[in-house]
Amino acid sequence: MTNEINLSVFPLDLEVSQRDRSDGPRFAITDGEAALRLAQEGLCSLCLQQMEGPAVFIGDPVSAQQGTYSDPPMHEACADGAIRLSLRITRPHAHWASRRRVTDNASVSAGSSLGRPEEWVMVTVSSYTVRITPAAGGGMMPLYLVGERLRERRFGYQRGMLTEKRSS
């Protein structure tokens, strides 16, 4: 399957992002309504096509361990593109939003990192479910709960570059 990544709406980078005055993305700030729409419609967060077959989530090690994500899933081919192209992921010193999407009293993955992780984990799963949870500032956000894991790949920064960590 070859998925064309729609760079004008790059929801992983944008995180289904809010837009600034120039209608450009504000990286790492989630547009809860757009994320919720993707969840309800079962769409890939990059190519915006229907999710079928394995789904991939990219997040920090805590999200991978807990099996919960606030960012929408994507196809495997789209995730491969995201891990190479996403400014939020590839730039170790890129701005990272300190505001998160979920209120203090809402469901959120335990120990979720508020800062940039030193390591990114790409988890491929056979299935996932979506729970809707209150978002900071009002509204609702999806919380993705992963099913059976098929594969896991880890990436870290070496000399300012994101590289895949090989298993020993």
Secondary structure (DSSP) of 39-108: HHHTB-TTT-PBP-S-EEEEE-HHHHHHTEESSPPB-HHHHHHHHHH-HHHH-TTS---S--SB-TTS--
Question: How many domains does the structure of the chain reveal?
Answer: 1
Asked if the structure places residue 1 within a domain, the reply is: no
Range of the domain at 99: 7-165
Rounded CA gap, 75 and 56, in Å?
6
Question: pLDDT per residue over 92-151, tens digit each?
Answer: 665 444 444 444 433 333 334 456 788 999 999 999 998 888 876 677 778 899 999 999
- Asked, for residue 160, whether it belongs to a domain, the answer is yes
pTM over 0.85: no
> Does residue 2 lie in a domain region?
no
Distance CA 96, CA 126 (A): 30
3-class DSSP assignment, residue 87: helix
In a domain, 143, yes or no: yes
90: in domain: yes
